Amino acid sequence: MLNDRQDALGHCFKDYLKGTADTYVLELDDGRIEVYSLKNFFSTYKHWPSTERKAMRYVRGRVLDIGCGAGRHALFLQEKGHKVVGIDQSPLAIQVCKQRGVKDARLLAATQIDTSLGTFDTFIMFGGNFGLVGSIKGARQILRRLSRIASDHARILANTRDPYHPPDDPYWLEYHERNRQKGRMAGQNRMRVRYLGFTSPWFDWLLVSRDEMEYILQGTGWVVKKYIGTDTPTYVAVIEKK
């Protein structure tokens, strides 16, 4: 789990609620800095991306919210009558979730998912959170963990972005090529979160095309049944057990 100095995003969430923070910084391993709004972590349903809103139609039964952040998806699904367990490796994110009304939020990384959580009918990885798998190997390890706690009709709703759009961006073309030369997937971004004096550890965040998604799923017992956002760089894969 993250210690207090590493919990940069958690401190952002806490300060956002106090009205003293609006943005956070993502630093890539080549020194690129990108600034993002915190508002998205707290947005209500009507302000979500259309792919996420449409994907909510495919949620059923008991739900595991992987990387629950500030709890926006868990809160919405609770209101719809679902039993939701939210997990995150940020202690402060879990505190914020509980403060905002998430009934069952637990300090747990995706790599620590096990049978003690019980059985689930839907696993959600929204806000781009399929990226949490980090790599092909990481994805397949997590998919095996989900299989052990999945009901017979379980599904995964995996939100990600095709890293090859736009296809002619010189910066990303160079970044992807450096990754390939290192034996990594093109969209395997290495980054960390920074906020004031808080800095997360470096981590890999995996972005995949639809073809790469299906390649990753080979041999895992999971298969894509549908894509939501077929004509957009950002999409949700509706993944079900074979």
Spatial separation of the C-alpha atoms in residues 140 and 218, rounded to whole Å: 9
Main-chain dihedrals φ then ψ at residue 2, nearest 5 degrees: -75, 140
Residue at 175: amino acid letter: Y
Q: Tell me the pLDDT band of 230, cut-offs 50, 70 and 90.
A: confident
Q: What is the mean pLDDT of the chain?
A: 97
Whether residue 231 is predicted with pLDDT greater than 90 in this model: the reply is no
Q: What is the pLDDT of residues 75-113, one digit of tens each?
A: 999 999 999 999 999 999 999 999 999 999 999 999 999
pLDDT confidence of residue 210: 97
CA 64 to chain centroid, in Å, comes to 12
pLDDT cut 70: percent of the chain above it? 100
Decide: 234 and 161 in contact? Cβ < 8 Å: yes
Cα–Cα distances (Å) from 232 to 50, 210, 236, in that order, read: 11, 11, 10
Spatial separation of the C-alpha atoms in residues 117 and 106, rounded to whole Å: 10
Spatial separation of the C-alpha atoms in residues 43 and 1, rounded to whole Å: 26
HSE-CB for 201 with a 13 A CA cutoff? 8
DSSP for 47-114? Answer: GS-HHHHHHGGG--SSEEEET-TTSHHHHHHHHTT--EEEEES-HHHHHHHHHHT-SSEEE--GGG--
pLDDT confidence of residue 143: 97
Decide: 41 and 72 in contact? Cβ < 8 Å: yes
Q: What is the pLDDT of residues 158-186, one digit of tens each?
A: 999 999 999 999 999 999 999 999 999 99
pLDDT confidence of residue 205: 98
pLDDT cut 90: percent of the chain above it? 99
* Domains contained in the chain, CATH given: 8-241 (3.40.50.150)
